[in-house]
Amino acid sequence: MSRIAHLTDLHVLEDHHRLRDPLARFRLAFLSARRPLDAAGRRTRVRRALDRAARAAPDHLVITGDLTEDGTAEQFEVLAELLLASRFEPSQITLLPGNHDTYSDPDAWEKALSGPLRPFAATSRAGAVSVLADAVIVQLSTPIHQHYARSAGLVRQEAVRDIDRIAGDPSFAGRTLIVAQHHPPLRHPLRIVHFWDGLLRCDLMTTLLLRHEHAHVLHGHIHESRSRRLAGRSASQVFSAPAVVDHPDPLRLYEAVDGRLLPLAAPVPHRAALPAAGAPVPAY
């Protein structure tokens, strides 16, 4: 079996954010949504979460987006320092961007992977595949270029085609497929909310999960721990973790065994089974 650790929504800040120009300070205040703009406190939360994850001795750590508050180069430098000081090797960590990570610059993620996050690029670029003894982890990037007042994401058809090929690859037979993405692969029942904060073309991922019972999604964005199953399935395939920036105990752990992904922590009650692809699916 393979053990997977899951953290999400770090919202790292740089120390000297008060020196920004007025518009950038306003953006930061808006995005922080009443949270204290305490850079040192947020670093402490991330260090504690990484330390707890390391003590669980996982085979791999997945951090599902919103790594920074608004995706500045300085914030990615802080993130890199925290990760490199942890007890994980870069090859053991899959990172991916959330909507917050591209607000300052639509190319911020690519620049970070060629800059301070370069040690993690092999496992964290779009579509990166990490192969473990009993699991295959695929990085799926969902952010789009948008105003910071909007927080939607997008699934791209070519990315899902690649994941579908991996799901059917006989060389990975018997392994649990884990897709790591920021936005939940579910449709909000209110169209305007889904457009503003949901995952556009999420039906592509729902269809993939229905087609491949051994496929699972780890995501962030909602800042809560949830486990969800598709209609007609007895086991959950969609999992989220609490936000590091908000929660005192944000770590989720799973074991991948025999094509399943099993949470190790106290079970999260299932919500009602999710409808089939194309039907409205609550995302919150």
Q: Which residues pair with 262 in a beta bridge?
A: 255
Residue 275 lies in a domain: no
What is the per-residue pLDDT for 279? Answer: 40
Residue 277 lies in a domain: no
How far apart, in whole angstroms, are the C-alpha atoms of residue 32 and residue 14?
Answer: 13
Banded model confidence at residue 231, pLDDT cuts 50, 70, 90: confident
What is the per-residue pLDDT for 34? Answer: 85
Q: Which helix (H) or strand (E) holds 233?
A: none
The answer, yes or no, to whether residue 267 has pLDDT greater than 80, is no
Residue 282 lies in a domain: no
The answer, yes or no, to whether residue 174 has pLDDT greater than 50, is yes
Task: Look at the chain and count its residues.
Answer: 284
Banded model confidence at residue 276, pLDDT cuts 50, 70, 90: very low
Its domain, for residue 259, covers 2-263
Banded model confidence at residue 110, pLDDT cuts 50, 70, 90: very high
How many other CB atoms are found less than 10 A from the CB of residue 80?
19
Condensed to tens digits (0 to 9), the pLDDT of residues 44-101 reads: 999 999 999 999 999 999 999 999 999 999 999 999 999 999 999 999 999 999 999 9
Residue 272 lies in a domain: no
Contact 95, 182 (CB under 8 A): no
Residue 16 maps to which CATH number? 3.60.21.10
How far apart, in whole angstroms, are the C-alpha atoms of residue 208 and residue 119?
Answer: 31
In three-state secondary structure terms, 144 is coil
Residue 138 lies in a domain: yes
What is the per-residue pLDDT for 265? Answer: 67
**What's the distance, CA 74 to chain centroid?**
21
Nearest-10 crossing angle of helices 39-55, 73-84? 30
What does DSSP assign to residue 191? H
Average pLDDT score, the chain: 92
How far apart, in whole angstroms, are the C-alpha atoms of residue 7 and residue 69?
Answer: 16
What is the per-residue pLDDT for 282? Answer: 33
How far apart, in whole angstroms, are the C-alpha atoms of residue 118 and residue 137?
Answer: 19
Q: Which of 96-105, 249-258, 271-280 has the lowest mean pLDDT?
A: 271-280
Residue 92 lies in a domain: yes
What's the total number of domains in the chain? 1
How far apart, in whole angstroms, are the C-alpha atoms of residue 216 and residue 229?
Answer: 10
Banded model confidence at residue 269, pLDDT cuts 50, 70, 90: very low
Residue 270 lies in a domain: no
How many other CB atoms are found less than 10 A from the CB of residue 71?
27
| Residue keyed to tokens 């051994």 | 214
Residue 274 lies in a domain: no
